[in-house]
Amino acid sequence: DAKTTQPPSMDCAEGRAANLPCNHSTISGNEYVYWYRQIHSQGPQYIIHGLKNNETNEMASLIITEDRKSSTLILPHATLRDTAVYYCIVRASGSARQLTFGSGTQLTVLP
């Protein structure tokens, strides 16, 4: 699976959009981009995933660049409960495989 690079930490004001970047320049054609988050002392929580088109669900939007070498997770109206470590994971389809978690981005939503 391709390696990802994320900033170690970010702050965001409550009510504003949080934009979390992820670089995956070595991604290959059959690899999906997944985003999970982990709120302190809880299990990782699935947020969203995509292959090449932008995706949106009730939690967030995922914007993938045309060359697929980077993506951005957008939380449109961040709340204090969105404070968590956010993980960007690139993973191939085709088999039941593990998720390889990197260091992620610690997002702190400030009041």
Q: Residue numbers of the site for another protein (CB under 8 A)?
A: 32, 34, 42-46, 49, 51, 91, 93-96, 98-103
Q: To the nearest whole angstrom, how small is the minimum distance from the Cβ of residue 62 to another protein?
A: 13
Nearer to another protein (CB atom), residue 39 or residue 110: 39
Q: Report how far apart, in Å, the C-alpha atoms of 14 and of each of 45, 63, 108 are.
A: 21, 21, 9
Task: Report the side by side order of strands in the sheet with 105-110.
Answer: 9-13, 105-110, 84-92, 31-38, 45-50
From the list 98, 75, 87, the residue with the least C-alpha distance to 39 is: 87
Nearer to another protein (CB atom), residue 54 or residue 103: 103
Nearer to another protein (CB atom), residue 65 or residue 100: 100
For residues 52 and 68, the answer to whether their CB atoms sit within 8 Å is yes
Q: To the nearest whole angstrom, how small is the minimum distance from the Cβ of residue 1 to another protein?
A: 12
Nearer to another protein (CB atom), residue 23 or residue 101: 101
